[in-house]
Amino acid sequence: MKDKFYVNIKIPVILMTLFIFLIFSCNNKETENAAKAEKDSTKPEIIKTQKVEEYAVEAPPFSDGIYPCTDCHANIVANPERRVLTEWHEDISAIFNHDSENRWCLDCHDLKNRDYLKLASGKLLDFKESYKLCGQCHGEKLRDWKVGVHGKRTGNWNGKKEYLLCVHCHNPHSPKFNELTPLPPPMRPEDIK
C-alpha cells in the first residue's frame, strides 16, 4: 500500500518538474542562440561622436555695468605703470590670485582698446574667445578642453554638445576652484529601517 502511494505521487511530480525544466532550458538556449546570431551578423557601423571644430560658446555674462569698458575708460588717461588698483576695480585687486607676483591687468587687457583682451603677441582678442588667451600658458589644458576631457560637456555623447568656456568655471582673476559644501552622506546601514 505504502509503495503504491509513493508511485502515485512521485511519478507525476517528477514528470512535471522535468517538463518545467525542459521548458526553461529550451528558452535559455533560444536566447543564447539569438544573442550569438546578433554578434555574428555583419560588422556594424560605429556610432561616432560628432566632430566639433568650432568652439563658439556664449561667454558668461559680465558683472553688472562693467562692459563695455570704454564707457568709463574713454574719458580716463591711460596709465601703463604697474600698480595695485585702489580706487577702481578694488574688488578684483582683493581677490587677484593668478600669478599675481609677475602679472597685472595689462598682461591680458589692452591699454588702448579697453573692450578687448590682448594676446602675448599683441594681437587683440574678443572677450568671447578668452579661451585662446588662457591657452597661451595653459596649452595642455586647452588641448584637453578642445577634445572634451578638461572641463564639462553636456548634451549628446554622439551629437550636439554644449561647452563651457574656461571662465564659466574659473574666475580669470582667481582661477582656483572654490570649496563646495558636500551633500549629506548616505545613511548608515544600521539606521535603515
Partner 1 sequence: MKKENSRRSFLKNISLATFSALALSGCNTEVFDEFLQKNFRTLSKKEKDKIIKNLELKYKEKYGKEFHVSDKPAMEGTLFGYALDLSRCVGCRKCVYACVKENNQSREPQIHWIEVLQMEKEKGIDFADSNVQYNPEKVPEKGHFYVPVQCQQCRNPQCVTVCPVKATWQEPDGIVVVDYNWCIGCRYCMAACPYGARHFNWGEPTVPTEEINTEMHYLGNRPRKKGVVEKCTFCIQRTREGKYPACVEICPVGARKFGNLLDPESEIRYILENKRVLVLKQELNTQPKFYYFFGI
Helix (H, G, I), strand (E, B) or coil at 171: strand
- Is 31 near partner 1 (CB under 8 A)? yes
Q: Tell me, residue by residue from 51 to 80, as one string, x for binding to partner 1 by CB under 8 A and - for no binding.
A: x-----------------------------
- Is 4 near partner 1 (CB under 8 A)? no
Compute CA 68 distance to the chain's CA centroid, rounded to the nearest angstrom.
30
- Is 184 near partner 1 (CB under 8 A)? yes
Kindly determine how many residues on this chain lie close enough to bind partner 1 according to the rule CB under 8 A.
46
Nearer to partner 1, 83 or 160 (CB): 160
Nearer to partner 1, 27 or 70 (CB): 27
CA dihedral 10, 15, 18, 19 (to 10 degrees): -150
From 88-96, 111-119, 130-138, 149-157, span contacting partner 1 (CB under 8 A):
149-157
Left (φ > 0), alpha (ψ -120 to 50) or beta: where does 11 sit?
A: alpha
What are the CA-CA distances from residue 184 to residues 181, 187, 188 (Å)?
A: 9, 9, 12
Left (φ > 0), alpha (ψ -120 to 50) or beta: where does 63 sit?
A: beta
Binding site for partner 1 (CB under 8 A): 5, 9, 27-28, 30-31, 34-35, 38-39, 44-49, 51, 144, 147-159, 164, 169, 177, 179-188, 192-193
